[in-house]
Amino acid sequence: MSTKEIIAAINDRKYPQARQMIEKQIQAQPKNSGFVSMLCFVEFKQHNREAAIEAAKSAIALGISNVPILNSFICPVLSAYGEKALMNQAFEAATRREPATRQTAELWSEYGFDLSYTKAILRAQTALNKVASSKEAVLSCCLFMALERKAMNPADPEFKLYPMLACRLLDKARPITAPQHAYVEALVLEMTSKEKMAEYLLSPAVRAYDSLDLDVMLLNNLLELENWSEIFAYAQMQLSQLDSFNYWQALVKASVKLGKTEEFKQFAQGFKGHNVCIANIDFAIEQNMDPLPAVQTFWEKMGTKASAPQFIEPYLTQSVIDFLSTVSARSFTETVNIVKINYKWTKQADVAALVKLYNANLDQLPAEKTDYFIGDDLLLVAAVHILGGTDSDRFYKAALLLETAQANDPHQFYVRLWLVRIYRYLGAFEKAKDHFDALRIRHLQHESLGFLLTTRAGSLSPNRAITRHAIDIHSKANLTGTYAQSALGKGSFTQIPGMLDLAEKLRLSLSRILVEFEALKTERVLKGTVSLSDVFNRASEYIDNRDFKTSFDPCGVASHYCETGPRQGTEWVEAQIAKEKVYLGVLRGNTTQTPVSSLSSELTDQEKWNIEVVNSLGRGDFQWLAPPVNGDELSWEIFHTGYTLCETCKVVEDVFAKQKTNAPPQLKQAKKELLEVISTIQKAVQQQKYAKNVAKWASSLGIKQADRVLGSIQQSQLRSLSQLINALN
Amino acid sequence: MTSLLPFNAGDLLDCNAINLDVLTENYDISFYLEYMYYWPDLLFKSVSRTRNVGYMIGKSEGAGLEWHSHITAVTVDMEYRRLGLGRVLVDLLKLASEAPDQNCYFMDLYVRTSNRIAVDMYKLFGFAPFRRVVGYYGQGRDQDAFDMRMPLKRDPHRKSLIKGPHTYESSQNRYKYDKKSLS
């Protein structure tokens, strides 16, 4: 058989046949790195991660000098698994005997950017610089030496070598005439001496660039050096151009260190904004003085601004609270600010009083529809407070308050963010999706906010459209690495670290794999075709880009309210991958599977149950346990139980079908029993047992249209239940 | 306390409180990345402690006397409005536009003519309506825009505010320069 035949089998996705042919070739030519590389690729395609990596290591040890082999069989595997160091080793091995060609160096660089691996990019840029030197290529090498050194162990021999090498290289890039180039020179100088870096950044030639990057770099450099007299002068000079708090912070420190308190006070008098007010508070604290007078001045000037509670947060003390209790509010915004601060401090709220205050100020709704109504914050405080309580109707009451705020101020996104959470908790999934859609969450926002709708979506409200957007954004993840490469070519050096950072965050996205599992569960429940390959090809480390902090949460304790199960993380993902491996192994006839641990606190009871059933399939001694059903009230849990049961039954049926035996009768029985529970819950929803109480409560607070809101929640819940019943039947 | 810092790709995941605003457009990731690699010195953010509360995305373009910087997006978190952060971001772009590396003649921006609050705000910042761009906004291109300009140091005689042979006009747009159209 020829290499051509093997490649044809790989191209035709006949991997077992390809493997047989490759293994024969390896037996005949054990030192042929090409066949070992092909084996690596075939193992990868068959989801054998460890075997694929082992084959890659062997191929690298043998030395792969053929770049097409490297590019076709090794790089895609190591890239998919995120094996950065191994990838770099592969290229180093490939260029050991002969210097890299331009093609090899470019490929090396490309994969380096794909994996945000500065070491590989540096090696590739060095190789490229040797092949075709240019000013940009030289500066690129210098930039990556500096970036790479920041992550290095000082004991590494290159730690001492890079400063010298970079300085020498930089001479080839002179004259430095642009701020982007000066940024690289500053980084190079930083490697040799922070004093030299400061001297350079303070030089008239660099100051003339008027570059924000260089300004910020200089300030941080001076702070590291604790060069207080220079900071004192530099911060004042910068502040005379732009009011930026980082300079105030530095000036406060420098003034106190140098004992220039009078000079500071005199300088500060020339400023009016919020920054100087805060700087005065910090100045008092740095001098161990009572900050209250400065806080009072801050409040006098800024108390009517919506941001005042945010600014004052780090300085809250009982004496500040006492002071605020004496303030006679000059505007509705100031009243709301004081309410928010008090709530933050006491964690106590009088819901009736908040609603009354809201209703009394509805005449202040902004005329401009795109402006925000500060009164919304009152209902948000009330709703969050109710959600933190134990009242059994709390979700309905909070929803009523927030729907009231939303009706008056449709674009208030903090209100909608809470409504999405509450409605998902209550099983009113259509309503949750309506509010989510109204938030116009698009593009990259799906990465950080998509979890609001996609968390456990496959086992709460399986819907292909919900997971689609989130997956689409991830198809663009590699784009970021490509842009970073283009930025390097364009000499936009200051943007490179940020682009590499984003590329890494997207490549190792936890959101991404969570959504992929939801898509998989959705397909399984909706009886579509399930592909597991993507899940297995992901890297094993994850970065959590979910944004839990963009939420109205004055006390910082509400982010866990209304969650549909424990927050998922790496353990959850690992458990699901292990479970899928067991399932796939059983389908392939392998009955000696390692059981999946179901101990993680990131798993719900239903997910633990699902894993136990799959484990029994893996062991070859199928055991059917009754699925956990918690409570008889409607919440997300009944849906989670129902759809997890559907998914589990599908897995069991698949395995029994593969073994050409009938599915066990317990599956139907379990569905039947759950349908009975659901029927009871459905009747309770139809009767709206909670409605009378909640409507009475709303009426006592002067909240109108409670019946309409509660009715729409009920309708949405009933539709969700119908879908679940259909899935179980 | 708000600091002005460079805006980079890593910040894109940390702008939700700004971008959930109804008037703030969310673009495809490639849009932001293109700005970052073409105009790395013209993107800034405003940060309150560790929270991004506003940003400016600018670019520079044009030929000859039309060489200018353009405000593509300037936006501030709703809770941090009325503090003058928008103005500071504009001032920063002005400084960067006047820096030797850019050395622009003027700065410009487009705004809906119907958005009086924004038009008046930009006037306060130093911009003046230069021309009306007919049917620039809206799905049916039924809303006009003002092309507002602010002459910079390099244009001491404020020529950029006067239509002349150097004035660039896109063949896809219709422009009006008369006083009535600019009010």
Secondary structure (DSSP) of A238-298:
HHTT---HHHHHHHHHHHHHHT-HHHHHHHHTT--SHHHHHHHHHHHHHTT---HHHHHHH
The DSSP output letter for A160 is H
**Three-state SS annotation for A563-621:** CCCCCCCHHHHHHHHHHHHHHHHHHCCCCCCCCCCCCCCCCCHHHHHHHHHHHHHHHCC
Mutate to test the interface with A, among B29, B34, B102 (most CBs of A within 10 A): B29
Mutate to test the interface with B, among A210, A331, A494 (most CBs of B within 10 A): A210
- To the nearest whole Å, the CA of B153 is away from the closest chain A CA by 14
Any idea how long chain B is? 183
Nearest CA in chain B to A493: B40
Supply the pLDDT for residue A535.
61
Q: What is the mean pLDDT of residues A599-628?
A: 93
Q: Is the pLDDT of residue B183 over 80?
A: yes
Going by C-alpha positions, the residue among B33, B29, B73, B54 that lies closest to residue A492 is B33
Supply the pLDDT for residue B46.
98
pLDDT band per the 50, 70, 90 thresholds, residue B43:
very high
Nearest CA in chain A to B76: A307
Supply the pLDDT for residue A67.
86
Interchain pair B36, A444: CB under 8 A: no
Q: Is the pLDDT of residue A111 over 60?
A: yes
Q: Is the pLDDT of residue B139 over 90?
A: no
From chain A, the residues in CB contact with B20 under 8 A are: 413, 417, 439-441, 445, 550
The terminus-to-terminus CA distance of chain A in angstroms comes to 53
Interchain pair A483, B30: CB under 8 A: yes
Euclidean distance between CA atoms A278 and A308, whole angstroms: 11
Interchain pair A372, B84: CB under 8 A: no
pLDDT single digits (tens) A674-707: 999 999 999 999 998 888 899 999 999 999 889 9
From chain B, the residues in CB contact with A498 under 8 A are: 8-11, 36
pLDDT band per the 50, 70, 90 thresholds, residue A536:
low
From chain A, the residues in CB contact with B104 under 8 A are: none
- Among the partner residues B17, B29, B95, nearest to A479 by beta-carbon distance: B29
pLDDT single digits (tens) A367-385: 877 789 999 999 999 999 9
Supply the pLDDT for residue A126.
93
From chain A, the residues in CB contact with B117 under 8 A are: 368
Q: Give the β-pairing of B68-76 and B43-48.
A: unpaired
- Average pLDDT of chain A is 93
Interface size A-B, in CB pairs within 8 Å, comes to 173
Going by C-alpha positions, the residue among B12, B19, B28 that lies closest to residue A499 is B12
Interchain pair A487, B1: CB under 8 A: no
A168 phi and psi, to 5 degrees? -65, -45
User: Which position has the token pair 């331009």?
Assistant: A102
Mutate to test the interface with B, among A252, A280, A333, A495 (most CBs of B within 10 A): A495
Tokens of A306: 């919506």
Interchain pair A490, B117: CB under 8 A: no
Interchain pair A487, B36: CB under 8 A: yes
B44 phi and psi, to 5 degrees? -135, 160
Please name the fold of domain B2-182.
Aminopeptidase (3.40.630)
Interchain pair A245, B96: CB under 8 A: no
Interchain pair A208, B23: CB under 8 A: no
From chain A, the residues in CB contact with B9 under 8 A are: 480, 483-484, 495, 498-499, 501-502
- To the nearest whole Å, the CA of A344 is away from the closest chain B CA by 17
Interchain pair B10, A502: CB under 8 A: yes
pLDDT single digits (tens) B94-132: 999 999 999 999 999 999 999 888 999 999 999 999 999
Residue, of B140 and A637, whose pLDDT is higher: A637
Interchain pair A492, B37: CB under 8 A: yes
Nearest CA in chain A to B77: A307
Supply the pLDDT for residue A530.
65
Supply the pLDDT for residue A49.
87
Nearest CA in chain B to A372: B78
B61 phi and psi, to 5 degrees? -165, 175
Interchain pair A498, B41: CB under 8 A: no
pLDDT single digits (tens) A226-283: 999 999 999 999 999 999 999 999 999 999 999 999 999 999 999 999 999 999 999 9
Supply the pLDDT for residue A690.
86
pLDDT band per the 50, 70, 90 thresholds, residue A599:
confident
Supply the pLDDT for residue A1.
63
Mutate to test the interface with B, among A216, A248, A307, A548 (most CBs of B within 10 A): A307
What residues form DSSP beta bridges with B129? B148
- Among the partner residues A248, A368, A445, nearest to B26 by beta-carbon distance: A445
Q: What is the mean pLDDT of residues A564-576?
A: 94
Mutate to test the interface with A, among B5, B7, B14, B20 (most CBs of A within 10 A): B20
Interchain pair B16, A243: CB under 8 A: no
From chain B, the residues in CB contact with A505 under 8 A are: 10, 13
From chain A, the residues in CB contact with B40 under 8 A are: 180, 213, 487, 492-495
Interchain pair A476, B29: CB under 8 A: yes
SS3 B61: strand
CB atoms within 10 A of CB A362: 10
What residues form DSSP beta bridges with B151? B106
pLDDT single digits (tens) A158-209: 999 999 999 999 999 999 999 999 999 999 999 999 999 999 999 999 999 9
Contact call for residues A419 and A399 (beta carbons, < 8 A): yes
Contact call for residues A255 and A283 (beta carbons, < 8 A): yes
Q: A366-375, A528-537, A579-588, B31-40: lowest mean pLDDT where? A: A528-537
Euclidean distance between CA atoms A515 and A446, whole angstroms: 10
Q: Give the β-pairing of B128-137 and B106-112.
A: unpaired
* Own/partner pairs, B165-174, CB within 8 angstroms, 24+ separation: B166/B64, B166/B65, B166/B66, B167/B66, B168/B62, B168/B63, B168/B66, B173/B133, B173/B134, B173/B135, B173/B136, B174/B133, B174/B134, B174/B135
Supply the pLDDT for residue A531.
62
Going by C-alpha positions, the residue among A628, A529, A524, A626 that lies closest to residue A576 is A524
pLDDT single digits (tens) A428-478: 999 999 999 999 998 899 999 999 999 999 999 999 888 876 667 767 767
- Among the partner residues A180, A275, A443, nearest to B28 by beta-carbon distance: A443
Tokens of A295: 């806080």
Tokens of B49: 């402690």
From chain A, the residues in CB contact with B6 under 8 A are: 212-213, 216, 494
Interchain pair B8, A494: CB under 8 A: yes
Euclidean distance between CA atoms A179 and A205, whole angstroms: 10
Contact call for residues A21 and A8 (beta carbons, < 8 A): no
Interchain pair A413, B30: CB under 8 A: no
The residues, ordered by sequence, that sit 6+ positions from A697 with a Cβ below 8 Å of its Cβ are A393, A397
- To the nearest whole Å, the CA of A444 is away from the closest chain B CA by 6
- The answer to whether the Cα torsion of A4, A5, A11, A17 is positive or negative is negative
Interchain pair A448, B36: CB under 8 A: no
The residues, ordered by sequence, that sit 6+ positions from B156 with a Cβ below 8 Å of its Cβ are none
Nearest CA in chain A to B53: A307
Q: Is the pLDDT of residue A48 over 90?
A: no
- To the nearest whole Å, the CA of B168 is away from the closest chain A CA by 26
Q: Give the β-pairing of B143-151 and B174-176.
A: unpaired
Contact call for residues A593 and A586 (beta carbons, < 8 A): yes
- Among the partner residues B1, B13, B29, nearest to A448 by beta-carbon distance: B13
Interchain pair B2, A244: CB under 8 A: yes
Read off the amino acid at residue A456: R
The residues, ordered by sequence, that sit 6+ positions from A357 with a Cβ below 8 Å of its Cβ are A335, A339, A375, A378
Domain boundaries, chain A: 566-687
